[in-house]
Structure 1
Amino acid sequence: MLTSVLPWLLSLAAASSDYVVQGQLTGVAPGTKIYLTQYKDRWLTLDSATVDAAGHCELRGQLPAPILASLKIQGQKVLYQMPLHPGDNLTFTLAPEPKKEFLRFTAQGSVGVEQWQQFQRNIYPQMFGTAQLPAKNRGLRELRALVRHTSDDFLAAYLTKNYLSRQASQQPFVDSMTTVLARRQPNMAETQTLAARTATASLSEKGGDVAPDFTLPTVAGQPFTLSSLRGKYVLVDFWASWCGPCRAENPRLRRLYQQYQGKGLEIVSVSVDADGAKWRKAVSQDQLPWTQVSDLKGWDSPVAQLYGVLAVPTSILISPTGQVLAHNLRGEDLEKRLAKLLP
C-alpha cells in the first residue's frame, strides 16, 4: 500500500511547485522569443517561449522557493520583473507605451504581483536618484508600511534586503524587521542574508574584534590582501561610484591620506559597484591614490557581507594589530581620531 501511495505523494509535491505564466503581447512580432529569467550570481533562463500569431505565449516550470523573476523580450534590453512563487498561475500583458521606448507591463494572478507593482509605480519613483535618502522620505515611509503588511511573504524579505537595508537611516527598522522575518520566514535566503549582516555589523560596531581578512582584485587586476597592511592603521572604506555621499567624502579622505600616510595610515576602498568601467572612472575622476579593490559583485559581494555592510558609505578603522577600533567614523570625528592616534 505504501509503495503505491508514495508516487502519488511525489507527483502531488511536484504539482504544488509548478508555475504557469501566460502572456498577451501587443506590438511584438509573432515568432519573437520570450525568456523567463532569474539573477543568481549570473542570469539564468528558467524557460522560454515563442510569441504566436495571436500575440500569446506561455512559460512553465517548477520552483523550490519564491523568486523575483524577469521577463526578457528578444532584441530588447528592458527587463520586466515580477515575484513568482511555486504554484503561481500568472498572466501578463505587454503593450506599446506612448512616446516611450519600453512596453507597458501589467501582471496579475497573485497578491505578491499586485504589491510589487504598487512598489514599482507608487513607491520606487519617490526613492529614485539618491543613494542615501533622509529618514522622512515619503517613499521610505510607504515602503516600510508595505514591508510590514507583507511580512509573511517573500516580498517583505526581498524589499528589506535590497532596498531598506541599503539606507543608513533605516537600520533600526531593518534590525527589527529582520527579527520578524527570522521568525516568519527563517528559510528564505534573503532573511538569512539579513540576519548574517545584522549580526556582523553589531560585532563590528562594538570594536575590539579582529577585522576579517580578505583578498580582492585591485583596479589593475592584481590581488590585494588586507592583512598585508599589518603594522599600520587602516581605514577600510566601503563605497560605490553611484553613491553621492561617498563621492562627497573623497576630497576629505584624500587630504587626510596626504596628511597621515607618512605617519602610518593606509586606506583601502572597497567598492560595491557591479560595473567595472564606472568604478574605474570614479577612481580616476576623484583622484584616489590609495588601494582600490572590488569583486564587482555589487551588494552580493562576499566581503561586503563579511563586514555586515548594509549601506554605503561604511567605514571601519583597524589597528596595526588588526583589531577593529571604530565603525563609521566620518568628517570631524574621523579627523579627531586620526589626530589622536597619529600625532
Structure 2
Amino acid sequence: MAKMLSGVTLVTRDGVEVDAGKYLDGKVVGLYFSASWCNPCKAFTPKLKKFYEEIKKRHPEFEVVFVSRDRESNSLVNYYLDQMGAWTYIPFGDPKIQELLTKFEIKTIPAMKIVKPDGKVVINDARTEIQDNMDNMENLYDGWMACYN
C-alpha cells in the first residue's frame, strides 16, 4: 500500500498528518472500510481493535488504515476517536477514498483487505477471518504472512 498511497495524507491517533507512502513503507497494511452509521461495523470494530493491539505487540510492521464511508467529517473523526485503535485514517473528502472503494470493489461494509505495497490483495476477507479467529490471532497473522511473502 505504501506505493499505491504515496502522496496521500493519513491522520494518526494524535491528529498528526503524515504521508502514507512514507508512513506505510515496510508495513503490512489492512484497509478497513467502515462507517459510524453502520451497526455491523460498530460490532466488528472492537474485535479489530483487540486483534490490532495483540498483533502489534509482536508484529510492529502491521498497520491498519481506516477508509471511512461516513457522510461528514465529524462523524468520521468521532467514530475513529471513540471506537478505533491507534491506527490511521484517510481524511474525509479525500478522493482516494472513492478510488479505493472502486479498486477493491467494496459493496458492503464492514470490509477489510490485507494488501501489498503495490495494492495487490493478499487476503480478500480479513474481516471474516478476524471475526472467526479471535482465539487464534497469532496463527491467523502467520497464515496471512505465508500468503504475503
TM-score (norm 2): 0.70
Identify the match of residue 268 of structure 1 among 65, 87, 90: 65
CA distance in 2, matches of 1:318, 1:294: 20
Residue 332 in structure 1 maps to residue 132 in structure 2: yes
Q: Secondary structure at the match of 1:301?
A: helix
> CA contact under 8 A between 2:53 and 2:85: conserved in structure 1?
no
**Partner residue of 1:241?**
36
Provide the identity percentage. 21
- Work out which of the residue numbers 109, 130, 134 in structure 2 matches 1:312: 109
Match of 1:182 in 2: none
Q: Are the structure 2 counterparts of residues 313 and 216 from structure 1 closer, same or farther at C-alpha, using a change threshold of 3 Å?
A: farther
User: Could you tell me how far 1:297 is from its partner in structure 2?
Assistant: 6.6
Change (3 A) 1:268 1:242: same
For the residues of structure 1 that align with 2:51 and 2:126, how far apart are their CA atoms?
Answer: 13
Change (3 A) 1:265 1:221: closer
Number of equivalences:
133
Higher relative contact order (CA 8 A, sep 6+): 2
Distance in 2 separating the partners of 1:242 and 1:257 = 22
User: For the Cα contact (< 8 Å) 1:317–1:325, is it kept in 2?
Assistant: yes
Distance of 1:250 and 1:273 partners within structure 2: 15
Shift of residue 230, structure 1, vs aligned partner? 3.3
Structure 1, unmatched stretches of 5+, are 1-209
Counterparts of 2:133 and 2:27, CA distance in 1: 20
- Contact kept in structure 1, 2:113 and 2:126, CA below 8 Å: yes
CA contact 1:217–1:295 (8 Å) conserved in 2:
no
Distance 2:16 2:25 in 1: 22
Shift of residue 324 of structure 1? 1.9
Shift of 1:326: 1.1
Mapping of 1:109-258 within 5 angstroms?
213-214=4-5, 215-218=8-11, 220=15, 222-225=17-20, 228-258=23-53
CA distance in 2, matches of 1:323, 1:292: 20
The aligned amino acid for 2:141 is: L
The whole-number CA distance in structure 2 between the counterparts of 1:217 and 1:211 is: 11
Greater strand fraction, Structure 1 or Structure 2 = 1
Contact 1:211 1:318 in 2 (8 A): no
- The answer on whether the counterparts of 1:212 and 1:307 sit within 8 Å (CA) in structure 2 is no
Q: Please report how far the alpha carbon of residue 243 of structure 1 lies from its aligned counterpart in structure 2 after TM superposition.
A: 1.1
